Chain A
Amino acid sequence: MIAYLGRRLIQSLLILLGVSLITFALLYLLPADPVRQIAGRSATPETVENIRRQLGLDQPFIVQYWHYLTRLLGGDLGRSYIQRSEVTELIVSRLPASLLLMVGAILCELTIGLSMGLIAAVRRGSATDQTLMVASFVGVSAPQFVVGLLLLYVFAVRLGWFPIGGYGSWRHLVLPSLTMGILGAGWYARMMRSSMIDVLRQDYMRTARAKGLARGAILFRHALPNAILPVVAMIGIDIGVFMGGIVVVESVFGWPGIGQLAWQAIQRVDIPIIMGVTLVSAFAIVLGNLLADIIAPFIDPRIKLR
């Protein structure tokens, strides 16, 4: 176990290093000159060169990357070119909002997805099953931008149940969580359904029924705990999907998280922020996968960590 963990940690670090190198190289190769963006239209060539020197952007690629890495180890992600603030400060101030949204989204997708999957499995082959599966398919394929605006229009503008975007109370959290959750709910409904059907086929289920247990007891005490575990173990992997989703959903709802920060930075080619957010997201994804792998054997003893 310890050896496995050590190996996985080294792997994770290598992945992060690779991500940083590739992102840094891609941004370096962009045919856009950040110095000219900082310097503005009225700057003289001397001003431009001065700024370039101060930022160390006149150095060769490998030197720039090395400087970035050494600063990174000290927790310094550099200063934003456009906002001129510490990237660490910008990300840290926005992380809580993104994490909150993530928790909200996980709650939504589990509640909706698991119940849909459960009902569909129990009513397997019926019209209810088919309707639910079509709905899950729509949920998986609907663009989040559209879902978000639709929810916003119906529940905030027309019905006035929730605020029109923004951040601050639980009422602000509902619509963006739902928008994020609908995508995941679709996946979970499908996984839950097949997992549940598998479990219902098992011998011990037949035994339980033969013993004359009530239907509710069979489903909730014997089937559900067995069916739900492999599904829940997927949450760690979900983080990758979330990281993609928050960029869109946070922008639609004016949610002050790192997705919104990333989107603005991409539009303005604010390289230090793009780097910072990419690394933080990569870290979250690697961590999520690692957790999913570590949890797996506890859920299913047949899996061994090696």
Chain B
Amino acid sequence: MRRFLASTVAASALALMLGMAGARADDAVDPNIKQGGAITITYKDDVATLDPAIGYDWQNWSMIKSLFDGLMDYEPGTTKLKPDLAESYEISPDGKTFTFKLRHGIKFHNGREMTADDVKYSLDRVTNPKTQSPGAGFFGSIKGYDDVAAGKADSLSGVTVVDPYTVKFELTRPDATFLHVMAINFSHVVPKEEVEEYGADFGKHPVGTGAFKLAEWTLGQRIVFERNPDYWHKGLPHLDKITFEIGQEPIVALLRLQKGEIDVPGDGIPPAKFQEVMNDPEQKARVVVGGQLHTGYITMNTTMAPFDNVKVRQAVNMAINKERIVQMINNRAVPANQPLPPSMPGYDKAFKGYAYDVAKAKALLAEAGHPNGFETQLFAMNTDPNPRIAQAIQQDLAAIGIKASIQSLAQANVIAAGGDKAGAPMIWSGGMAWIADFPDPSNFYGPILGCAGAVPGGWNWSWYCNKDLDAKAAEADSVVDPAKSAEREKMWSAIYDKIMEDAPWAPVFNEQRFTLKSARMGGADNLYVDPVHIPINYDNVYVKDVQ
């Protein structure tokens, strides 16, 4: 949010009397980059769906962003918000009304012009329980959401079409994250006629306003995107065509990249080959390293003895040798000391956390009444490297007397154990760890550390519920004024610092991204580690051989 502040502070100051507003000139696209060329991306797994209301994995997330657009988006390669389908927006002084002015002449891939009615339809659709959208909960602050979610209404009463190019949102509470919510895929705009034609199969026949349109989908083999010649953002996308080849093992993808057959292995560099790639100067030069909105952590069930004692939880925090774990995974991460990852606004640089200190951990454990330690269980997902990391944690715990047996299970089973209050004393989150939906500090709180998530089937696996912090979180999120975003970030930092005092988690590391690309790929490095586009920002990259 800090960078967002810089761009809009002037506009906000002027507009405060009338409410807050944001607008921008069109992003400048480098006119020297020629359009054209095709690239090939590989994936191991089938692409689940390209329906923006449903797709919710890291593989289809970025693909959907290229087919559809939302009212808001981010500057390429950054976490800085910008209007997208909207030309400008206005926020009322109480932070409860957002009015968006839409651009004129934006067309869906089927040729029809997109209007405010489509925006409203798309939100009604995503919140309708019949759509079964995993993202419906993001829209909880819109007036009328509860009725739609309960099946009592078909339409959100808080979304009003003022005229074909103006749409107004009324919220039940001030929501500082609302602009981010308007940028996530779930709020992307879909044409009603196409959704009705394809019904549940719309995800296989996506029609949006995005930079690319779907040209081919051969199940289990390939998906082809072609440039949308009518894309409103002149000069974009740079590429004519992207082919996603499906069913390619990461190791095979790497071999093909080395032979020059593909451009980006979507599943990344296989762990077994990581050192080999990084030791080869030619290949290493084509690896782009970047942060990720990810934290890997150990949860301790605060409702289960002995983890109901804060001293025990703090002792565990001091017992974990994070440096060693990071080395074990070939330095593909950086040690973490707080829930927020370093690239997230609100990350507290000054915060030191719990230093690795076995003696102090033992002393704390003795103070808590466990001088000889205790026995417990550590749940972890059963895919590499998670069992190895769990073993390292097990050894670290053994050094202070805690004997943890490892329960290495399939992802769904670990998730089930975490959502059961008496299910899991400790969980290593690897493979399931929180990757933020949008770059805002609040996104690491609600479901995984707030009271709302500490329910059966929830994601707050430490069952940590601090009503006081819940109130503080609500207070922080009611600071809607972009001019006060620095203040809001501070409020969030304080919340996370307090959480670390209570130590329901032992944060272990923040994964880094390593994107390997072919020599012909062009564009700024941050497009290849874009915080909201994994693996790469398809709309903005280009190929050098057509330049």
Contact across chains for A42 and B220 when beta carbons are under 8 A apart: no
- Residues of B near A222 (CB, < 8 A) are none
Q: Which of B130-138, B298-306, B390-398 contacts A (4 or more CB under 8 A)?
A: B130-138
The answer to whether A93 and B249 touch (CB under 8 A), given A48-B457, A54-B132, is no
Q: Which of chain B's residues have a CB closer than 8 A to the CB of A251?
A: 247, 249
**What does the 1/0 interface line of B219-250 toward A look like (CB < 8 Å)?**
11100000000000000000000000111110
**Contact between B203 and A42 (Cβ–Cβ < 8 Å)?**
no
Is A242 interfacial (CB-CB < 8 Å)?
A: no
The residue in B54, B56, B200, B218 that gathers the most chain A C-beta atoms within 10 A of its C-beta is: B56
Inter-chain contact B45/A254, CB cutoff 8 Å = no
Min Cβ gap B273→A in Å is 12
Q: How far is the CB of A82 from chain B (nearest CB, A)?
A: 5
Cα–Cα distance between A44 and B134 once the two chains are bound (Å): 9
A43–B137 CB distance below 8 A: yes
* Chain A residues with CB under 8 A of B459: 41
A257 surroundings in chain B (CB, below 8 A): 220
Please determine whether A39 and B248 come into contact, CB atoms closer than 8 angstroms: no
Stretch of A108-116, A135-143, A163-171 on the interface side: A163-171
Whether A252 and B410, one on each chain, are in contact in the complex, defined by CB atoms closer than 8 angstroms, is no
> Is B219 touching A93 in the complex (CB atoms < 8 A)?
yes
Report whether A32 and B249 are in contact in the complex, using a CB–CB cutoff of 8 Å: no
Closest to A93 in B: B219
Residue contact B247 to A255, C-beta cutoff 8 Å? yes
Inter-chain contacts of B204 with A (CB < 8 A): 85
Tell yes or no: B545 within 8 A of A by CB. no
Q: Give the chain A neighbours of B415 by CB distance below 8 A.
A: 32-33, 36-37
User: Any chain B CB within 8 A of the CB of A90?
Assistant: yes
Q: Is B9 an interface residue (CB 8 A)?
A: no
- Check if B201 is an interface residue, CB within 8 A of chain A: yes
CB of B134 within 8 A of CB of A42, answer yes
A144 at the B interface (CB under 8 A): no
Which chain B residue shows the least CB distance to A80? Answer: B48
B268 is an interface residue with CB less than 8 A from chain A: no
Q: Are A264 and B149 in contact (CB under 8 A)?
A: no
Q: Does B11 contact A (CB under 8 A)?
A: no
Q: Which of B252-260, B338-346, B366-374 contacts A (4 or more CB under 8 A)?
A: B252-260
With most chain A CB atoms within 10 A of its CB, the pick from B136, B203, B413, B459 is B136
Greatest chain A CB density within 10 A among B135, B151, B220 is at: B220
The residues of A that contact B36 with a CB separation of less than 8 Å are none
Across-interface contacts of A40 in B (CB, < 8 A): 56, 134-135
Please tell me if the beta carbons of B457 and A32 are within 8 angstroms of each other in the complex.
Answer: no
User: In the complex where A54-B129, A93-B219 touch, is A83 in contact with B437 (Cβ < 8 A)?
Assistant: no
Bitwise, B272-313 to A at CB < 8 A (1) or not (0) is 000000000000000000000000000000000000000000
Alpha-carbon gap, A188 to B168, bound state (A):
73
Instruction: Tell whether, in the assembled complex, residue A85 and residue B201 are in contact, meaning their CB atoms are under 8 Å apart.
Output: yes
The answer to whether the Cβ of A212 comes within 8 Å of any Cβ in the partner chain is: no
Instruction: Report the nearest B residue to A51, measured CB to CB.
Output: B132
A30 touches B412 (CB 8 A): yes
Check if B335 is an interface residue, CB within 8 A of chain A.
no
Instruction: Tell me which residues across on chain A come within 8 A of B134, comparing CB atoms.
Output: 38-43, 47
A residues 217-274 in Cβ contact with B at 8 Å: 250-257, 260-261, 264, 267-269
Q: Are B220 and A256 in touch, CB under 8 angstroms?
A: yes
Q: Judge whether A30 and B255 touch: CB under 8 Å.
A: no
- Nearest CB of A to B216, in Å: 13
Q: Are A82 and B48 in contact (CB under 8 A)?
A: yes
- Which of B137, B245, B415: most chain A CB closer than 10 A? B137
Contact B251 A149 (CB under 8 A): yes
Q: Which residues of A contact B54 (CB under 8 A)?
A: 84
Q: Which residue of B lies closest to A168 (CB)?
A: B221
Does the CB pair A256–B136 fall under 8 Å?
no
**A34 to B140 Cα, complex, angstroms:** 23
- B151 partner residues in chain A, CB cutoff 8 A: 50
With a CB–CB cut-off of 8 A, which chain A residues contact B56? 40
| Residue contact B248 to A44, C-beta cutoff 8 Å | no
Instruction: Give the residues in chain A near B203, CB-CB below 8 Å.
Output: 84-85
In the complex, which of the residues A94, A166, A269 contacts B412, with contact meaning CB atoms closer than 8 Å?
Answer: A269
Q: Is the CB of A42 within 8 A of B135?
A: yes
Task: Write out, one digit per residue, whether chain B residues 63-91 have a CB within 8 A of any chain A CB (1) or not (0).
Answer: 00000000000000000000000000000
Bound form: Cα–Cα A164–B245 in Å: 13
Residue A60 at the chain B interface, CB threshold 8 Å: no
Contact present for B252 and A252 (CB under 8 Å)? yes
Is B384 an interface position by the 8 A CB rule? no
Is residue B52 within 8 Å, beta carbon to beta carbon, of the partner chain?
no
- The reply to whether the CB of A286 lies closer than 8 angstroms to some CB of chain B is no
Asked if A50 and B48 make an inter-chain contact with CB atoms under 8 angstroms apart, the answer reads: no
Would A164 and B247 count as touching, CB distance under 8 A?
no
What separation, in Å, do the CA atoms of A83 and B140 have in the docked complex? 26
List CB contacts (< 8 Å) of B409-448 with chain A.
Answer: 410-413, 415-417, 419, 434, 437, 446-448
Closest to A94 in B: B220
A44 contacts B137, C-beta separation under 8 Å: yes
Q: Does B166 belong to the interface (CB within 8 Å)? A: no
A90→B219 contact, CB < 8 A: yes
Residue B150 is within 8 A (CB to CB) of chain A in the complex: yes
Query: Is A125 among interface residues, defined by CB-CB distance under 8 A?
Result: no
Task: Pick the contact of A165: B136, B149, B248, B412 (CB < 8 A).
Answer: B248
Give A46 to B146 CA distance when docked, in angstroms: 10
Q: Is the CB of B455 within 8 A of A254?
A: no
- CB of A152 within 8 A of CB of B200, answer no
Could you tell me if A45 and B135 are in contact, using CB atoms closer than 8 angstroms? no
Q: Do B130 and A54 have beta carbons less than 8 Å apart? A: yes
Question: How far, in angstroms, from A257 to B137 measured CA to CA in the complex?
Answer: 36
Among B221, B245, B259, B437, the residue within 8 A (CB) of A42 is B437
Q: In the assembled complex, how far is the CB of residue A102 from the closest CB belonging to chain B, in whole angstroms?
A: 16
Q: Are B219 and A94 in contact, with the CB atoms below 8 A?
A: yes
Please name all residues of chain A whose beta carbon is closer than 8 Å to the beta carbon of B218 when the two chains form the complex.
93, 256
Find residues 18-62 in chain A having any chain B CB closer than 8 Å to their own CB: 30-34, 36-48, 50-51, 54
When the two chains form their complex, are residues B248 and A254 in contact, meaning their CB atoms are under 8 A apart?
yes
**B419: chain A residues within 8 A (beta carbon):** 33, 36
**In contact, A256 and B455 (Cβ under 8 angstroms):** no
| A86, chain B: closest CB distance, angstroms | 8
The answer, among A31, A157, A252, A256, for a CB contact under 8 Å with B219, is A256
Residues in B with CB closer than 8 Å to A8 are none
In the complex the two chains form, is B220's CB within 8 Å of A36's CB? no
Instruction: Tell whether A47 pairs with B149 under 8 Å between CB atoms, given A84-B200, A90-B219, A264-B45.
Output: yes
Q: In this complex, what residue of A is CB-closest to B456?
A: A45
Q: Is B220's CB under 8 angstroms from A46's CB?
A: no
Residue of B nearest to A92 (CB): B219
Say yes or no: A33-B135 contact (C-beta < 8 A), given A47-B149, A85-B204. no
Q: Please tell me if B261 contacts chain A, counting CB pairs below 8 Å.
A: yes
Contact present for A31 and B413 (CB under 8 Å): yes
Cross-chain pairs A/B with CB under 8 angstroms, 6 sampled? A43-B136, A45-B455, A45-B457, A47-B134, A165-B256, A253-B252
Q: Which 4 A-B pairs have the closest CB atoms?
A: A40-B134, A32-B412, A256-B220, A254-B247
**14 other contacts beyond A42-B135, A256-B220, with CB at 8 A cut-off?**
A32-B415, A33-B416, A39-B134, A41-B448, A43-B134, A47-B149, A50-B132, A82-B48, A83-B48, A156-B255, A157-B259, A164-B261, A256-B246, A268-B45
